[in-house]
Amino acid sequence: MPLIILSGYPSSGKTTRAKQLQKALEERIENNVDGTKDYRVVLINDESLDIEKEVYRESKTEKAARGLLYSAVQRELSKSTIVICDALNYIKGFRYQLFCESKSMYTPHCVVHVAVPKQMAKKFNSTSEHPYPEDVLDGLIFRYEEPNGMTRWDSPLFTVIHDDPTPPVDTIWSVLIHNKSVKPNLATMTKAPAEVNYLYELDKVTQDVIMLILNHQSTEGSSSLPIPGSSLQVEMPSITVSLPLLQRFRRQFVHINRQQSYNTNLLKDMFVDFLNGQFETME
Protein backbone atom coordinates (compact mmCIF):
# COMPACT_ATOMS: atom_id res chain seq x y z
CA MET A 1 0.00 0.00 0.00
CA PRO A 2 1.03 3.64 -0.29
CA LEU A 3 4.06 5.25 1.27
CA ILE A 4 3.61 8.81 2.54
CA ILE A 5 6.91 10.63 3.00
CA LEU A 6 6.87 13.72 5.19
CA SER A 7 9.62 16.29 4.79
CA GLY A 8 10.37 19.64 6.37
CA TYR A 9 12.61 21.60 8.68
CA PRO A 10 13.17 20.15 12.14
CA SER A 11 10.42 21.28 14.52
CA SER A 12 8.22 22.38 11.61
CA GLY A 13 5.22 20.38 12.81
CA LYS A 14 5.69 17.21 10.76
CA THR A 15 4.59 14.88 13.55
CA THR A 16 1.42 16.92 14.11
CA ARG A 17 0.60 16.61 10.40
CA ALA A 18 1.51 12.92 10.41
CA LYS A 19 -0.89 12.23 13.27
CA GLN A 20 -3.63 14.21 11.51
CA LEU A 21 -3.09 12.04 8.45
CA GLN A 22 -3.01 8.86 10.50
CA LYS A 23 -6.30 9.69 12.24
CA ALA A 24 -8.08 10.68 9.01
CA LEU A 25 -6.88 7.59 7.15
CA GLU A 26 -7.79 5.25 9.99
CA GLU A 27 -11.30 6.72 10.12
CA ARG A 28 -11.75 5.99 6.42
CA ILE A 29 -10.46 2.46 6.85
CA GLU A 30 -12.79 1.90 9.82
CA ASN A 31 -15.69 3.02 7.63
CA ASN A 32 -14.48 0.72 4.82
CA VAL A 33 -14.19 3.60 2.34
CA ASP A 34 -13.26 2.18 -1.09
CA GLY A 35 -13.15 -1.33 0.39
CA THR A 36 -10.22 -0.65 2.70
CA LYS A 37 -11.52 -2.37 5.86
CA ASP A 38 -8.57 -4.80 5.95
CA TYR A 39 -5.95 -2.07 5.64
CA ARG A 40 -3.94 -0.54 8.45
CA VAL A 41 -1.88 2.61 8.96
CA VAL A 42 1.62 2.55 10.40
CA LEU A 43 3.38 5.71 11.59
CA ILE A 44 7.19 5.50 11.62
CA ASN A 45 9.30 8.29 13.09
CA ASP A 46 12.34 8.96 15.26
CA GLU A 47 10.27 8.61 18.42
CA SER A 48 8.94 5.17 17.49
CA LEU A 49 12.49 4.04 16.73
CA ASP A 50 14.04 5.66 19.84
CA ILE A 51 16.30 7.88 17.74
CA GLU A 52 17.66 10.80 19.75
CA LYS A 53 17.96 14.24 18.18
CA GLU A 54 21.66 14.40 19.02
CA VAL A 55 22.45 11.73 16.40
CA TYR A 56 22.11 14.41 13.72
CA ARG A 57 25.21 16.16 15.05
CA GLU A 58 27.58 13.59 13.51
CA SER A 59 27.36 12.20 9.98
CA LYS A 60 28.18 8.65 11.11
CA THR A 61 25.38 8.46 13.67
CA GLU A 62 22.97 10.25 11.36
CA LYS A 63 23.67 7.71 8.61
CA ALA A 64 22.97 4.89 11.05
CA ALA A 65 19.67 6.55 12.03
CA ARG A 66 18.63 6.83 8.39
CA GLY A 67 19.44 3.17 7.90
CA LEU A 68 17.23 2.28 10.86
CA LEU A 69 14.39 4.37 9.44
CA TYR A 70 14.79 2.86 5.97
CA SER A 71 14.74 -0.68 7.36
CA ALA A 72 11.56 0.06 9.32
CA VAL A 73 9.84 1.34 6.18
CA GLN A 74 10.98 -1.74 4.25
CA ARG A 75 9.56 -4.06 6.88
CA GLU A 76 6.15 -2.41 6.97
CA LEU A 77 5.43 -1.80 3.29
CA SER A 78 2.85 -4.32 2.12
CA LYS A 79 -0.30 -4.57 0.06
CA SER A 80 -2.51 -3.82 3.07
CA THR A 81 -0.43 -1.23 4.95
CA ILE A 82 -0.25 2.54 4.52
CA VAL A 83 3.13 3.67 5.83
CA ILE A 84 3.59 7.25 7.01
CA CYS A 85 7.30 8.04 7.18
CA ASP A 86 7.39 10.99 9.58
CA ALA A 87 11.03 12.07 9.61
CA LEU A 88 13.25 14.91 8.44
CA ASN A 89 13.75 13.27 5.02
CA TYR A 90 15.69 16.39 4.14
CA ILE A 91 18.17 14.72 1.76
CA LYS A 92 16.79 14.26 -1.74
CA GLY A 93 18.94 11.17 -2.23
CA PHE A 94 17.25 9.50 0.74
CA ARG A 95 13.80 10.45 -0.56
CA TYR A 96 14.86 8.84 -3.85
CA GLN A 97 15.76 5.63 -1.99
CA LEU A 98 12.32 5.56 -0.36
CA PHE A 99 10.72 6.23 -3.75
CA CYS A 100 12.57 3.26 -5.26
CA GLU A 101 11.46 1.05 -2.38
CA SER A 102 7.81 1.92 -2.99
CA LYS A 103 8.27 1.32 -6.71
CA SER A 104 9.82 -2.10 -6.08
CA MET A 105 6.67 -2.99 -4.12
CA TYR A 106 4.46 -1.78 -7.01
CA THR A 107 2.81 0.71 -4.69
CA PRO A 108 2.23 4.47 -5.03
CA HIS A 109 3.84 7.11 -2.87
CA CYS A 110 3.59 10.83 -2.24
CA VAL A 111 5.58 13.51 -0.44
CA VAL A 112 4.01 15.89 2.07
CA HIS A 113 6.15 19.01 2.53
CA VAL A 114 5.45 20.71 5.86
CA ALA A 115 6.56 24.20 4.93
CA VAL A 116 7.21 26.82 7.60
CA PRO A 117 9.68 29.74 7.68
CA LYS A 118 13.03 29.05 9.33
CA GLN A 119 12.36 31.44 12.19
CA MET A 120 9.03 29.78 12.93
CA ALA A 121 10.71 26.36 13.06
CA LYS A 122 13.25 27.78 15.50
CA LYS A 123 10.45 29.24 17.62
CA PHE A 124 8.60 25.90 17.65
CA ASN A 125 11.83 24.19 18.64
CA SER A 126 12.43 26.56 21.55
CA THR A 127 9.06 25.64 23.06
CA SER A 128 9.31 21.91 22.34
CA GLU A 129 9.42 19.42 25.20
CA HIS A 130 12.36 17.70 23.48
CA PRO A 131 14.08 20.38 21.38
CA TYR A 132 16.94 19.94 18.94
CA PRO A 133 20.23 21.34 20.24
CA GLU A 134 20.73 24.74 18.62
CA ASP A 135 23.82 23.72 16.64
CA VAL A 136 22.06 20.61 15.33
CA LEU A 137 18.98 22.62 14.38
CA ASP A 138 21.03 25.20 12.47
CA GLY A 139 22.99 22.52 10.64
CA LEU A 140 19.89 20.62 9.55
CA ILE A 141 18.17 23.77 8.33
CA PHE A 142 21.29 24.74 6.38
CA ARG A 143 21.51 21.31 4.70
CA TYR A 144 17.79 20.97 3.97
CA GLU A 145 16.99 20.07 0.34
CA GLU A 146 13.43 21.16 -0.34
CA PRO A 147 11.20 18.73 -2.26
CA ASN A 148 10.70 19.52 -5.93
CA GLY A 149 7.47 18.31 -7.51
CA MET A 150 9.16 18.27 -10.93
CA THR A 151 11.26 15.24 -9.92
CA ARG A 152 9.61 11.85 -9.97
CA TRP A 153 10.68 10.89 -6.44
CA ASP A 154 9.09 14.04 -4.98
CA SER A 155 5.90 13.69 -7.00
CA PRO A 156 3.03 13.91 -6.27
CA LEU A 157 3.98 16.66 -3.85
CA PHE A 158 1.59 18.19 -1.32
CA THR A 159 2.70 21.34 0.49
CA VAL A 160 1.15 22.11 3.86
CA ILE A 161 1.85 25.57 5.31
CA HIS A 162 1.70 26.49 8.97
CA ASP A 163 -1.85 27.90 8.97
CA ASP A 164 -3.47 25.05 7.02
CA PRO A 165 -5.89 23.31 9.42
CA THR A 166 -5.08 19.84 8.05
CA PRO A 167 -3.18 18.23 5.17
CA PRO A 168 -5.26 17.72 1.96
CA VAL A 169 -6.49 14.28 3.03
CA ASP A 170 -9.13 13.95 0.29
CA THR A 171 -6.61 14.56 -2.48
CA ILE A 172 -3.95 12.35 -0.90
CA TRP A 173 -6.48 9.52 -0.52
CA SER A 174 -7.62 9.90 -4.12
CA VAL A 175 -4.09 9.87 -5.50
CA LEU A 176 -2.83 6.95 -3.41
CA ILE A 177 -5.82 4.66 -2.98
CA HIS A 178 -7.32 5.08 -6.44
CA ASN A 179 -3.99 4.77 -8.21
CA LYS A 180 -4.19 1.09 -9.09
CA SER A 181 -1.41 1.06 -11.67
CA VAL A 182 2.13 1.98 -10.65
CA LYS A 183 4.90 1.64 -13.19
CA PRO A 184 8.03 0.32 -11.45
CA ASN A 185 11.50 1.59 -12.27
CA LEU A 186 13.25 -0.53 -14.85
CA ALA A 187 15.94 -1.28 -12.27
CA THR A 188 13.43 -2.70 -9.78
CA MET A 189 11.40 -4.93 -12.12
CA THR A 190 11.51 -8.69 -11.55
CA LYS A 191 10.50 -11.99 -13.14
CA ALA A 192 12.11 -11.73 -16.57
CA PRO A 193 13.25 -14.80 -18.53
CA ALA A 194 16.59 -16.28 -17.48
CA GLU A 195 19.60 -16.27 -19.81
CA VAL A 196 22.78 -18.32 -19.50
CA ASN A 197 25.12 -15.38 -20.15
CA TYR A 198 23.20 -12.94 -17.94
CA LEU A 199 25.99 -12.11 -15.45
CA TYR A 200 28.53 -11.67 -18.24
CA GLU A 201 26.21 -9.28 -20.09
CA LEU A 202 25.35 -7.43 -16.87
CA ASP A 203 29.05 -6.78 -16.25
CA LYS A 204 29.87 -5.91 -19.87
CA VAL A 205 26.92 -3.61 -20.53
CA THR A 206 27.44 -1.57 -17.37
CA GLN A 207 31.18 -1.22 -18.01
CA ASP A 208 30.55 -0.15 -21.63
CA VAL A 209 28.13 2.56 -20.52
CA ILE A 210 30.60 3.85 -17.91
CA MET A 211 33.32 4.13 -20.57
CA LEU A 212 30.95 6.02 -22.89
CA ILE A 213 30.17 8.47 -20.08
CA LEU A 214 33.86 9.05 -19.29
CA ASN A 215 34.67 9.70 -22.94
CA HIS A 216 31.65 11.97 -23.29
CA GLN A 217 32.59 14.04 -20.23
CA SER A 218 36.07 14.66 -21.58
CA THR A 219 34.73 16.09 -24.85
CA GLU A 220 31.12 17.22 -24.45
CA GLY A 221 30.79 18.00 -20.75
CA SER A 222 27.28 17.91 -19.29
CA SER A 223 25.19 17.52 -22.45
CA SER A 224 22.87 14.55 -22.89
CA LEU A 225 24.50 11.33 -24.04
CA PRO A 226 22.70 8.94 -26.44
CA ILE A 227 23.62 5.32 -25.74
CA PRO A 228 23.92 2.98 -28.74
CA GLY A 229 21.50 0.10 -28.37
CA SER A 230 19.34 1.92 -25.82
CA SER A 231 16.07 3.77 -26.28
CA LEU A 232 17.14 6.15 -23.49
CA GLN A 233 19.93 8.67 -23.13
CA VAL A 234 22.03 9.58 -20.14
CA GLU A 235 21.06 12.98 -18.76
CA MET A 236 24.42 14.17 -17.51
CA PRO A 237 24.50 16.38 -14.39
CA SER A 238 25.99 19.86 -14.51
CA ILE A 239 29.01 18.69 -12.51
CA THR A 240 31.65 16.18 -13.58
CA VAL A 241 31.07 12.67 -12.29
CA SER A 242 34.31 11.02 -11.16
CA LEU A 243 35.31 7.51 -12.17
CA PRO A 244 35.16 6.22 -8.56
CA LEU A 245 31.59 7.52 -8.22
CA LEU A 246 30.57 6.02 -11.57
CA GLN A 247 32.04 2.70 -10.52
CA ARG A 248 30.17 2.90 -7.22
CA PHE A 249 26.88 3.45 -9.08
CA ARG A 250 27.79 0.52 -11.34
CA ARG A 251 28.47 -1.78 -8.37
CA GLN A 252 25.17 -0.77 -6.77
CA PHE A 253 23.27 -1.58 -9.96
CA VAL A 254 25.04 -4.92 -10.41
CA HIS A 255 24.41 -5.83 -6.77
CA ILE A 256 20.69 -5.02 -7.09
CA ASN A 257 20.25 -7.01 -10.29
CA ARG A 258 22.75 -9.89 -10.19
CA GLN A 259 20.22 -12.23 -8.54
CA GLN A 260 17.60 -11.45 -11.19
CA SER A 261 17.23 -12.96 -14.65
CA TYR A 262 16.33 -10.14 -17.01
CA ASN A 263 16.29 -10.28 -20.75
CA THR A 264 19.78 -8.98 -21.55
CA ASN A 265 18.37 -6.73 -24.26
CA LEU A 266 16.86 -4.61 -21.47
CA LEU A 267 20.06 -4.13 -19.47
CA LYS A 268 21.23 -0.93 -21.18
CA ASP A 269 17.88 0.76 -20.74
CA MET A 270 17.77 -0.38 -17.13
CA PHE A 271 21.25 0.90 -16.32
CA VAL A 272 20.68 4.24 -18.06
CA ASP A 273 17.41 4.69 -16.16
CA PHE A 274 19.20 3.87 -12.90
CA LEU A 275 22.05 6.32 -13.61
CA ASN A 276 19.63 9.10 -14.52
CA GLY A 277 17.96 8.65 -11.14
CA GLN A 278 21.33 8.89 -9.38
CA PHE A 279 22.42 11.91 -11.40
CA GLU A 280 19.19 13.78 -10.64
CA THR A 281 20.07 13.68 -6.95
CA MET A 282 23.38 15.43 -7.72
CA GLU A 283 21.83 18.56 -9.21
Are the C-beta atoms of 249 and 93 separated by less than 8 Å?
Answer: no
Measure CA 45 to chain center: 15
Half-sphere exposure (Cβ direction) of 45: Cα atoms closer than 13 Å = 19
The stretches in the chain having pLDDT less than 70 are 1, 180-196, 259-262, 281-283
Report the chain's mean pLDDT, rounded to a whole number.
Answer: 87
Tell me whether the omega of the peptide bond preceding residue 108 falls within 30 degrees of 0, making it cis: no
Phi–psi pair at 65, nearest 5 degrees:
-65, -40
Residues 7-47: tens digit of each pLDDT: 999 999 999 999 999 999 999 999 999 999 999 999 999 99
Domain ranges of the chain: 3-177, 188-280
- Report the pLDDT value the prediction gives residue 191, as an integer from 0 to 100: 41
pLDDT in tens, 83-102: 999 999 998 888 988 988 88
Q: What is the pLDDT of residue 169?
A: 93
Percent of the chain with pLDDT over 70: 91
Cα 177-1-48 angle, rounded to 5 deg: 120
Top-level class of domain 3-177: alpha beta
pLDDT at 279: 82
